[in-house]
A and B are shown apart, each in its own frame.
Chain A
Amino acid sequence: MNVLLDNLSLYGKGLLGTVELTVYASLLALVLGFAMAAFRVAPVGSLRIFGTVWVTVLRNTPLTLLFFAVLLGLPRFGLVLPFQLFAVLALGCYTSAFICEVVRSGINTVPAGQGEAARSLGMTFPQTLGLVVLPQAFRSVIPPIGSTLIALAKNSAIAGSFSVVELLGVYKPLNERGYGIVWSFVWIAVGYLLVTLTISALFHALEQRYGVVR
């Protein structure tokens, strides 16, 4: 218990770092993921190919490799940004591939009649997708998106090893100050559980509010 109380500010900073990473990367992943899903069902061939390549490559890339390439590689091109921003980029792009697949399978759960009805009303492709299909798809993809974002929160632990302030990295200064290493890890674990359970509860609430039983 002493480990936590003595180093509350350290733990707080770490937790805040993890939360910030998670929130920003989630937003990026959601935007990119929805865009890629739209690309993958678009009637334009080159966009479809781009979406497919994006998803296939990123889903099969180890996240450590992506962090390695983005955080240590991009500065070689003279692109110098704060490490946290790089971490958000890497995490967001990686997760966007998974969000895209979730959204795409969500689009497939919308009955074909909905799209057909929208078309028969004379709606264009963006209108069909944006006004009719995606709002319905959104309702059925709430739980899987929640799971994907929980995975993102857990993956953010990797950023700690690339000198970004986050929760897992807290063990290092604690170790130097001579605190019991097992207990410092216990509180780190509690911190992660806090984050993942919060996301879980948030999406449970969303599911209750917007979810539909098909």
Chain B
Amino acid sequence: MTTALYDLPGPRARRRHRYYGLGSTAVLLALLAWILSLLFRTHQFTAAKWTPFTYEGIQYLLLAGLGNTLRAFGLAAVLSLALGAVLAAGRLSVHRPLRWACTLLVEFFRAMPVLVMIFFIYVALKRAPLTALVTGLTLYNGSVLAEVFRTGIDSVERGQGEAAYALGLRKTQVMTYVLVPQAVRAMLPAIISQLVVALKDTSLGFLITYEEFLHAGKLIASNLDYDLPFIPVVMVVSPVYIGMCMLLSWLAHWVAERQRRNPKVETEGVAAPEPGTPLPGDHRARG
């Protein structure tokens, strides 16, 4: 937090801030109360809408959905890490055609909406929803991770690679023994942050009828027997999704904090590349 923006408040300013604080708290509480009253007025807390969640079948349906979400996430995470490593190795290669090809692939897949890829595989290539989802996520996140890996390797001090070459190591040895172990420490937080994106994007499977968590929620929400419990479903589903993503984000933050205090990490942390086409003038910033 920037404290340079305002002076240490004196007694009058403190009183003024307290009034502002009280005022804004009142406004926020009023907003909350209004939302709650809206929920009550539209009968969202009636027993009919909440009893379905006590049925074992419904709980099983939700758990199965959650399992499918986690399966898609696990597959996509492992595959995109592998693809990212391959593409990054290609972009760092000494062979120019290979470098160009990998650059083209990475830039293309990062510029495409991940949903277009998923729909293309699902509709045009007629694959199963899980295959389409995992492939789409892998192509996109793999390309972004390739950029993370590449900037991570580039952020290792030049002298390290040069010293290794001077000792007579071959280029593969330089990479595996010297550059990668040092780079991994710096880019671990960025990798985990990208995995959060992958986890969030598994919910796109909902749009191609992959039976994941949100799909299970939709099934329950559109059931007339339970009085269409749409809002209760949202109230149950979103904390789970948000909780999972927050846990992973928090892990990334924790790792980053740990690395910052770790004297073994010499390179500065690698920022996660923005999820988009890099701007033309942006390349120097990425190094």
Contacts and interface: CB of A to CB of B under 8 A. Distances in A.
A129 B6 CA distance: 9
A171 B122 CA distance: 12
B242 A57 contact: yes
B279 A45 contact: no
B5 A77 contact: no
A130 to B, nearest CB: 11
A59 B249 contact: yes
Nearest to B43: A76
B279 A203 contact: yes
| Size class of the contact patch on chain A | 35 or more
A105 to B, nearest CB: 10
B274 A60 contact: no
Nearest to A204: B280
Contacts of B200: 60-63
Interface string B221-262: 100000000110010011001100110010000000000000
A185 interface: yes
Given A196-B111, A200-B279, A73 B230 contact: yes
Interface in A28-73: 40-41, 43-47, 50, 56-57, 59-65, 68-69, 72-73
A161 interface: yes
Interface in A101-129: 107-108, 112-116, 119, 125, 128-129
A40 B5 CA distance: 12
A188 B202 CA distance: 22
Interface string A188-209: 1100110011001101100110
Contacts of B285: 143
Given A50-B28, A60-B245, A185-B124, A128 B113 contact: no
A50 B32 CA distance: 12
B249 A62 contact: no
A82 interface: no
A203 B214 CA distance: 36
B75 to A, nearest CB: 17
30 contacts: A41-B5, A43-B17, A46-B21, A59-B249, A60-B196, A60-B200, A61-B200, A62-B201, A62-B245, A63-B200, A65-B241, A72-B221, A73-B231, A114-B4, A128-B5, A129-B5, A143-B279, A146-B276, A148-B276, A149-B276, A150-B277, A154-B112, A157-B115, A161-B115, A168-B115, A192-B113, A196-B276, A197-B111, A207-B279, A211-B281
Given A168-B113, A196-B277, 11 more contacts: A57-B242, A60-B242, A61-B238, A62-B214, A62-B241, A62-B245, A154-B113, A161-B115, A189-B116, A197-B111, A211-B281
